[in-house]
């Protein structure tokens, strides 16, 4: 027997209905904020991620699915999508279009990391990028949109963490301070952090090893090294969040795991997910477009929601409804079955979900209707065909009403 590849999985009903519900909610919020969908290839040139995400990040050094194509080029299954969106932005000269480019995406990403609760090697992200402005007002709106998506899918009780990692110049000063402090502390850290202390000290702050956290807490805060412009930008972002009554906690060691972040970074967590409790993260990436070859400055900010973990949270704490069947039709005999297939077609035009039974016994069909969580059942025999009147049963209350064909259609349409 052949099984799915380790770290990848099948998404089966009824869970798939929750996935559709979550994506529908996200698309609805994106439309309200005037974001349009972009679909990028799953495969990209490896250099795109090495240059944008960072050679010293765990994603590039350990987790990417990379292979040599037949022409000798190096290709990679996308581990994240911001770099791909920026590549498309530059390649197709979206900077020539009017206004801020507000783009969203929904799709699979790939990282060969250790599978754990809510984390898979093929995982799905819902994300967005706002490209073309460095205004802190855009940062505030992006975070407002993220909170709106979570509430739209029925999640409350989440926590927003924010920080500023400053400009390139501020980070350079902070990296030097970290490197100096880590000379004495690094030998007590994990092997990855000992390497990062030399190559990219900022990455030490992103360490997830529990034993390292008390040591990392001793390191200086990046907020102490922000220049005046960075401090003003961060202050204004917080003002916009305050204006929107969006609660947040400043987390000075929140740097995220990607090298392209600049200034605002943020993360949202939820207790329903346990120790690894992040649902989403994002931040500003001013300068990324230029590093990928853009001749025009294209400051931007974006985020990505781990859809696997979002769905898990909805299933545990939110409203994961909407997967039940609206109507189960139980035809009694072959003539009734032919009649019911045509009747079902008319009912489906009302955006009502319908299943027509093919079992021979009524008792068995009603059992199936119960298992499918049908709201209503319709029993159709020879008499119903002749009289064009139908017995509609409410499966929750057991009440039955006899309705004409037109009354039946109106009742089902109004029940949506």
| CA–CA gap between residue 44 and residue 59 (Å, rounded) | 15
Contact 262, 285 (CB under 8 A): yes
Contact 130, 290 (CB under 8 A): no
Residue 121 DSSP class: S
Give Cβ neighbours of residue 379 (< 8 Å, ≥ 6 apart). Answer: 330, 332, 362, 390, 391, 393
What is the length of the chain?
416
Contact 327, 412 (CB under 8 A): yes
Contact 118, 276 (CB under 8 A): yes
Higher-pLDDT residue of 404, 212: 404
Alpha-helix runs per DSSP H in 74-227: 82-91, 136-152, 168-185, 191-199, 213-216
pLDDT of residue 54: 75
- CA-wise closest residue to 291 among 266, 264, 261: 261
Q: Is residue 56 very low, low, confident or very high in pLDDT (cuts 50, 70, 90)?
A: low
Segment (H or E) for 114: none
Q: Is residue 197 very low, low, confident or very high in pLDDT (cuts 50, 70, 90)?
A: confident
**216: three-class secondary structure by DSSP:** helix
Mean pLDDT, the chain, rounded, equals: 90
| CA–CA gap between residue 186 and residue 143 (Å, rounded) | 35
* Cis peptide, bond prior to residue 14, ω within 30 of zero: yes
How confident is the model over 79-131, as pLDDT tens digits? 999 999 999 999 999 999 888 999 999 999 999 988 877 789 999 999 999 99
């Amino acid at each position: 027997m052949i099984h799915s590849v380790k770290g990848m999985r099948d998404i089966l009903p009824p869970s798939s209905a929750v996935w559709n519900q979550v994506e529908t909610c996200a698309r609805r919020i994106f439309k309200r904020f005037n974001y349009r969908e972009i679909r990028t290839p799953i495969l990209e040139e490896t250099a795109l991620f090495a240059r944008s995400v960072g050679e010293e990040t765990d994603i590039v050094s350990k987790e990417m699915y990379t292979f040599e194509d037949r022409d000798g080029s190096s290709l990679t299954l996308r581990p994240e999508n911001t770099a791909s969106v920026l590549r498309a932005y530059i390649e197709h000269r979206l900077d020539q279009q009017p206004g801020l480019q507000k783009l969203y995406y929904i799709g699979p990403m790939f990282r060969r990391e250790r599978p754990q609760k809510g984390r898979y090697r093929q995982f799905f992200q819902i994300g967005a990028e706002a490209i073309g402005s460095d205004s802190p007002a855009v940062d505030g709106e992006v975070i407002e949109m993220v909170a709106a998506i979570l509430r739209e899918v029925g999640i409350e009780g989440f926590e927003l963490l924010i920080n500023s990692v400053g400009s390139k110049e501020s980070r350079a000063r902070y990296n030097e301070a970290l490197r100096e402090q880590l000379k004495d502390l690094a030998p007590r850290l994990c092997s990855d952090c000992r390497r990062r202390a030399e190559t990219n000290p900022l990455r030490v702050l992103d360490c997830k090893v529990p034993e390292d956290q008390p040591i990392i807490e001793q390191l200086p805060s990046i907020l102490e090294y922000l220049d005046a412009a960075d401090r003003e930008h961060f202050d204004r972002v917080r003002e916009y969040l305050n204006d929107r009554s969006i609660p947040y906690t400043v987390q000075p060691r929140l740097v995220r795991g990607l090298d392209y972040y600049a200034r605002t970074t943020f993360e949202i967590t939820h207790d329903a997910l346990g120790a690894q409790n992040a649902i989403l993260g994002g931040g500003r990436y001013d300068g990324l477009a230029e590093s990928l070859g853009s001749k025009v400055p294209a400051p931007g900010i974006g985020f990505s929601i781990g859809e696997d973990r979002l769905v898990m949270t909805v299933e545990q704490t939110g409203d994961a409804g909407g997967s039940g069947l609206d109507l189960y039709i139980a035809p009694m005999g072959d003539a009734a079955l032919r009649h019911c297939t045509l009747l079902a077609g008319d009912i489906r035009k009302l955006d009502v979900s319908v299943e027509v039974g093919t079992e021979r016994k009524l008792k068995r069909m009603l059992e199936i209707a119960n298992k499918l969580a049908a709201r209503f059942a319709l029993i159709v025999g020879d008499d119903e065909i002749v009289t064009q009147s139908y017995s509609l049963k409410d499966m929750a209350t057991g009440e039955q009403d006899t309705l004409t064909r037109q009354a039946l259609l109106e009742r089902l349409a109004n029940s949506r």
